[in-house]
Amino acid sequence: MTAKADGPVTAELEARAEKAESRRGLFLALPSYIYLLFLFALPLVIIGVYSFASRSRTGMPKLEAWNLDSITKLFTDDLVRSIFARSLIVAVLTTTFCLLVGYPFAYYIATRSEKMRNLLLVFVMIPFWTNFLVRTYAWRVLLGEDGLITELGRFLNLWDSMLFTLPAVYIGLIYGFLPFMVLPLYAAIERLDWSLIEAARDLYASGWEAFRKVTLPLTKQGIIAGSILVFIPSLGAYVTPDILGGAKTTLIGNYVVNQFLTARNWPLGSSVSMAIMVVMLIATIWYFRSGAKTL
Amino acid sequence: MTARQSTTLTRRLDRFLTGHAWLVYLFFYLPILVLIVFSFNESRFFTWEALSLRWYRQMFANDNLMAALWVSLQVATISTIVSTVLGTAAALALERYKRWLGKRTFDALLYLPVIIPDVTMAAMLLVFFTSLGQQLSITTIVLSHIAFNISFVSIVVRARLANLDPSLEEAAADLYAGRWQAFRKVTLPLIMPGVLGGALLALTLSLDDVVITQFVKGPDTLPTFVFGLIKRGVTPEINAVSTLMLTASVVLVLSSLALQRKK
């Protein structure tokens, strides 16, 4: 075979190999592809459609009388609006608290010796993997009528039982989601190039200045990742406010569950859960955007 | 590193950080410890009386609770196995095959179940099953758990694959190993810690889930059953169940750490 004839033949072989390659890729992904199309994408579309349906007497959506009632209710109904606003505030404040507590904590772990770091991390991982329900229940015990924290508050004359109030919900949420904040922060701080901070100090930056102008910007990725990981579950929280909160602390997650399982207004439940998802998508897109900027 | 730290961290700041860290660890562990201690208390109230296994006996004698535990074990086992196989295949398709039809859509679709709030996913699946006229049962729980677990497994396996040197698999191919042989003898052993780590995560998430299960359940799983108990009030029996669930979680963490060591 001459060198000239060799060219097109290899090209054809390569094209065929590439085709086989792409068939194999699709073949491997196909089972989960189909699964997620049916059990994720399709349900998502259906719930979107249901937001426009009207409610029949049994609570099941009627699929003929299409309207915007459930959507406009998001913006006009006082109850829905106040619950949504409360949930946003709770999610933002929970994220802020977790960041304020988690940053110095992650900094502490990241600046220990390697052996110590690994040990300290294991002790963060244990609550991270521990059953969420059990962890929330533990606070019901501590904050209850004769719980340890209540007794302490009475002894100090500072607080009584906080159970079924908003502070209890905050404690539960922070307790539940703090590890989500600590782990990405730790990863960011641990990667830090310490010589840059030294350089700042050599140039007569104060400790605080060096932190604000060097450390903080360099760990921005971890701050954003941790914040998103705390914000999303706090916004959709259901178990924590249900166990630790009361009637006056209903959050949007409880409201959705109520619409589906008790009040049986599926169209309204659908539109509210779509609204939660939209807020979450905006947060996630913002995260990827800001990630792209710093990279 | 320690020499550098002493220049960047003043002693006072370090003392503050240490104290703060201890407080955070106290915050993490105090609730868990209180639960464990009181699960062994004879009294029904939260004042210490005497060491006793009364609540554990009562727990094992509770038929409804044992039935819920059995449902949970079945759901967790089946959903973990299925999602580990599907999620690993998905991870291989995305990491090892450059171009194929619908790859980018699939990539996005695979991420969504991770970031979607639980209540939205729960509502979606309930609406989906009912509009199909599907009776809610243990099957609908399993199907739902697989739906969120595939994504988590694939993320863990992908992380492992991304750190892996593809030249090893190429070498196997050069030595005339068939595709299946190369996969079984080279790729699979290399990604095994990732696959097992993903499986452990799936198992944990399945045993953890309350919200989605609450919507699509036929029979109660252990978490939804315990959730119902908690809403009716605090009893030491729940402490005993919680302690057992805690023990299971700790065993899972330690196994996942043992797997990471193998890296």
> Is pLDDT larger for residue A284 or for residue A136?
A136
- How many Å apart are CA B30 and CA B10, to the nearest integer? 30
Q: Read off the CATH number of the domain in which B187 is found.
A: 1.10.3720.10
> Is pLDDT larger for residue A190 or for residue B263?
A190
Q: Domain end: B55, B74, B93, which one?
A: B55
A291 band by pLDDT with thresholds 50, 70 and 90 = low
Residues B27-50 have pLDDT tens digits of: 999 998 988 888 888 887 767 788
Q: Are residues B51 and B94 in the same domain?
A: no
Nearest CB to B211 within list A32, A108, A238: A238
- How many Å apart are CA A169 and CA A247, to the nearest integer? 12
Q: Are residues B100 and B31 in the same domain?
A: no
> Residue A182: is its pLDDT beyond 80?
yes
> Residue A1: is its pLDDT beyond 50?
no
Asked if B10 and A207 come within 8 Å (Cβ–Cβ), the reply is yes
Q: Domain end: B55, B74, B91, which one?
A: B55
Residues 212-241 (B) with a CB less than 8 A from some CB of A: 214-215, 223, 226-227, 230-231, 234, 238-239
Sign of the Cα torsion B235, B237, B238, B239 reads positive
> Residue A33: is its pLDDT beyond 50?
yes
| Lowest-pLDDT range of A7-16, A257-266, B20-29 | A7-16
Q: Residue B82: closest CA among chain A residues belongs to which residue?
A: A32
Q: Are residues B44 and B163 in the same domain?
A: no
Strands (E), B1-138: none
Asked if A175 and B239 come within 8 Å (Cβ–Cβ), the reply is no
Q: What residue type is assigned to position A184 of the chain?
A: P
Residues B211-262 have pLDDT tens digits of: 999 999 999 999 999 999 998 877 788 888 888 888 888 888 788 778 777 6
Q: Are residues B122 and B249 in the same domain?
A: yes
Asked if B8 and A201 come within 8 Å (Cβ–Cβ), the reply is yes
Write out the two tokens for B246: 């805690």
Q: Are residues B210 and B83 in the same domain?
A: yes
> Residue B8: is its pLDDT beyond 70?
no
> Is pLDDT larger for residue A94 or for residue B252?
A94
Position B262 scores a pLDDT of 60
Q: Name chain B contacts of A137, Cβ cutoff 8 Å.
A: 35, 226, 230, 234, 238, 242
Region A143-163: what's the mean pLDDT? 88
Residue A62's φ and ψ, nearest 5 degrees, are -95, 130
Q: Which residue matches tokens 């719980």?
A: A147
| Lowest-pLDDT range of A25-34, A191-200, A247-256, B119-128 | A191-200
Q: Are residues B101 and B218 in the same domain?
A: yes
> Residue B186: is its pLDDT beyond 90?
no
Q: Are residues B224 and B143 in the same domain?
A: yes
Residues A249-270 have pLDDT tens digits of: 899 999 999 999 988 888 999 9
Q: Which residue matches tokens 């660890």?
A: B25
| Lowest-pLDDT range of A162-171, A224-233, B13-22, B173-182 | B173-182
For residue A236, with 0-12 CB atoms within 10 Å meaning exposed, 13-18 middle and 19 or more buried, which class applies? buried
Contact A35, B146 (CB under 8 A): yes
Q: Are residues B143 and B228 in the same domain?
A: yes
Q: Are residues B70 and B195 in the same domain?
A: yes
A221 band by pLDDT with thresholds 50, 70 and 90 = confident
Residues 40-99 (A) with a CB less than 8 A from some CB of B: 40-44, 46-47, 50, 60
Sign of the Cα torsion B182, B183, B188, B194 reads positive
Q: What is the interface size between A and B, counted as CB pairs within 8 Å?
A: 273
Q: Are residues B41 and B102 in the same domain?
A: no
Mean pLDDT taken over chain A: 87
| Lowest-pLDDT range of B61-70, B124-133, B185-194 | B185-194
Contact A154, A187 (CB under 8 A): no
| Lowest-pLDDT range of A34-38, A142-146, A206-210, A236-240 | A206-210
Q: Residue A274: closest CA among chain B residues belongs to which residue?
A: B120
Region B167-186: what's the mean pLDDT? 79
Q: Are residues B36 and B88 in the same domain?
A: no
Domain residues for the domain of B141 are 62-261
Region B52-61: what's the mean pLDDT? 88
> Residue A6: is its pLDDT beyond 60?
no
Position B78 scores a pLDDT of 98
Q: Are residues B47 and B79 in the same domain?
A: no
Q: ipTM for the complex?
A: 0.89
> Residue A4: is its pLDDT beyond 90?
no
As for how many domains chain B has, the answer is 2
Region A29-44: what's the mean pLDDT? 96
Position A294 scores a pLDDT of 40
Q: Confirm or reject contact between A241 and chain B (CB < 8 A).
A: no
Contact B259, B199 (CB under 8 A): no
Residues B97-147 have pLDDT tens digits of: 888 888 999 999 998 998 898 999 999 999 999 989 889 999 999 999 999
Residue whose C-alpha is closest to residue B28's, from A143, A223, A128? A128
Residues 135-164 (B) with a CB less than 8 A from some CB of A: 143-144, 146-147, 150, 154
Percent of chain B's residues with pLDDT above 70? 95
Position A7 scores a pLDDT of 64
Q: Domain end: B10, B25, B55, which one?
A: B55
